[in-house]
Amino acid sequence: MKSLLRVALLVLAAAPFATQAGQIREYWVAAEPVTWDYAPSGKNLLHPGSDMGVWGKRLSYPKYRYIRYTDATYRTPVPQPEWMGILGPELLGEVGDTLKVHFRNRADRPFSMHPHGLRYDEDNDGADHRGAGAMIAPGKSYTYTWTLDEGAGPGPSDPSSIVWLYHSHVDHVADIYQGLIGTIVVTRKGMAISSADPRPRDVDRNFTTLFMVFDEEDGAEGGLKHAMNGYIFGNLRGLEAVEGERVRWHLVALGSEVDLHTAHWHGETVLDHGRRTDVIELLPASMVSVDMVADNPGTWLYHCHVGDHMTAGMMTRWTVRPRPQPTVAPPGPQPN
């Protein structure tokens, strides 16, 4: 009897630790050369009667992107929402999880993956030219292991999920301008939809927006692409919510001293750590998550409010669609 009681006590003592064990979430990501077009429509979609000034003289440039694949064959890419634009895959997890990111360099120069905010050792920093993951040569692969500990998760005054950047860190500046940028979203422990789906259960829809001036021509004005997710002059599309949805906006920025941004929504306001506003201030490497209830149907401007950034096309539109009305049966007897 005593031995049975001892076993029962051991099981009960271990239970809290068992429930805290997180998931191991695997991602297969490659860095690949692409041709990027900052305005695929070829038009100023904000003002169809106007051109794009010097910023529209050349729109396509050779770049690199992070591409997610379904498995280790790296044959089938995972589709991304239209609004993600140039961003690499959004890596998701809940506090307590471990991310294993299998990175393959399909480019022609060394690249890496460096995460902000997560827990890792020197080999998994992806930076500083030190450690096994610091510089992955063309054609080579490396598996990064990153832990989503409490320090990587939402703080006491944060919403139920927060955003972190990741990017290549071999050439600290050039890699970012080349397009190797993505985000990680970490959900508070116990707030995930399920063990298989780490998205927060108190959010209906989320969007991520990168505000960044890409320098494509060594400082020449026409090559300074004032982009939102890699698009200019309204060519960022797909930002659509439905009336009544709880929307979380993850806002990030990178770049240099010109990248002082003020993200502004028309038509709605957001809550930023309890503060009501319709403008969020961003600096290079800012990472901010804010909440909105989309309750005002319409199509609205969404843009950086810095004057010369608006002139250069750092603007788009987003839409709140009316909530579908329930079908009402006509009066009179209903068929059996």
Residue 328 lies in a domain: no
User: Is position 209 within any domain?
Assistant: yes
**281 lies in which domain range?**
23-321
What's the number of domains the chain is made of? 1
Residue 102 domain-assigned? yes
Which CATH number do you get for residue 253? 2.60.40.420
Residue 9 falls inside a structural domain:
no
Q: Is the pLDDT of residue 20 over 80?
A: no
Q: pTM (2 decimals)? A: 0.91
Q: Which residue is associated with the tokens 């051991």?
A: 10
Residue of 224, 216, 232, 284 lying closest to 256 (CA atoms): 284
Answer whether residue 329 is part of any domain: no
pLDDT tens for each residue of 38-57: 999 999 999 988 999 999 99
Cβ of 64: how many Cβ atoms within 10 Å?
A: 24
Spatial distance between the Cα atoms of 225 and 49, rounded to a whole number of angstroms: 21
pLDDT tens digits, one per residue of 187-220: 999 999 999 999 999 999 999 999 999 999 999 9
| Residue 233 counted as domain residue | yes
- Three-state SS for 291? strand
pLDDT at 152 over 70: yes
Evaluate whether residue 47 is within a structural domain. yes
Mean pLDDT of 154-179: 97
Residue 291 included in any domain: yes
